Structure 1
């Protein structure tokens, strides 16, 4: 599982909450946490603030209340909790798996569980909305044919119908391309 971990475990950039106009960048690697800040100053005051950078090892961050407070204020308490978990080596391996493996795992879940897991993070939402997932889901749950959709929630029914229509249009365009490339003249 350790091979799934890339050097960068988490990277977030955003503007600080009002009234501040400063920009922050937080990067968590396997070894350290780097917090960069770009202070936005009033140009009329002729005061130039240079970008700042604070580097801490995971162990140092866990005891540094000031840096934790800054992360909490700028990025929110949920992000601070996530960063602290990463520093304590509580990694989220599921989102780091290859997409094909995630799709395979999701194919064993119920539709309601897929709906719930797609709301947990951007990566899983992208996988749950991908054509690869819906192709696998249709194959596993509905077979290869045009199986009835009774018993499924309206949202799932709509996604399957959209996927089927998109697949039919794609097949039709491929057939037309084949006809045009083989030609009759």
Structure 2
């Protein structure tokens, strides 16, 4: 088994590895270290290949971008914080944002976001509205006009009332 660690320090990239085994023939293996400044790392294609194989191409690209000074601060924000920020955007901006990445597409279509938007735009959110939102989704609830919403809530109430009334034989 090999243990690999990739570190980005202030001005260098450090890659460490250890080979761990219960066999006696590996007891002479020492930990390995490669440490390069950002400029040298950007030119080291062999190290890029190793990092991509071990950590994946996304991590490699992320490290390369950091070495080039390209920081993606949005990637570091938590989903709940991003949802809170997105909930204040205009609908057109939410639609555009959802097309920028898979992460934003998931966030912009999530029930959590649309629940926040409904809470921000509606004066009151009734229990019936919450129950309907569980059935059809908060996004669908948001885009349903008031008349249709009232009709759907009424139908849902009648359906529940019919279930509660015991059938006499």
Under TM normalisation by the shorter chain, which class is it?
0.5 to 0.7
Distance 1:96 1:67 in 2: 25
Aligned to 2:21, the other structure's residue is in SS state coil
Distance 1:28 1:36 in 2: 12
Is 1:74 aligned to 2:54, yes or no? yes
Task: Choose which of 30, 38, 41 in structure 2 pairs with 1:50.
Answer: 30
Query: Which entry has the higher C-alpha Rg, 1 or 2?
Result: 2
Root-mean-square deviation (Å):
4.3
Shift of 1:92: 0.8
Shift of 1:41: 3.3
Shift of 1:134: 7.5
Change (3 A) 1:129 1:113: farther
Question: Which runs of 5 or more structure 1 residues have no equivalent in the other structure?
Answer: 1-20, 158-185
1:99-118 alignment runs, 5 A limit:
102-107=82-87, 108=89
Distance 1:112 1:151 in 2: 21
TM-score normalised according to structure 2 size: 0.55
TM-score normalised according to structure 1 size: 0.51
Partner of 2:40: 60
Question: Which runs of 5 or more structure 2 residues have no equivalent in the other structure?
Answer: 140-169
Aligned to 2:103, the other structure's residue is in SS state coil
Shift of 1:22: 0.8
Shift of 1:129: 8.8
User: Does the 8 Å CA contact 2:2/2:17 hold for their aligned counterparts?
Assistant: yes
> How many residues of Structure 1 are paired with residues of Structure 2 in the alignment?
132
1:1-185 alignment runs, 5 A limit:
21-45=1-25, 47-97=27-77, 102-107=82-87, 108=89, 120=103, 136-146=116-126, 148=129, 154=136, 156=138
Higher helix content, 1 or 2: 2
Distance 1:50 1:156 in 2: 56
Moved more, 24-33 or 84-93: 24-33
User: Does the 8 Å CA contact 2:17/2:31 hold for their aligned counterparts?
Assistant: yes
Distance 2:15 2:124 in 1: 50
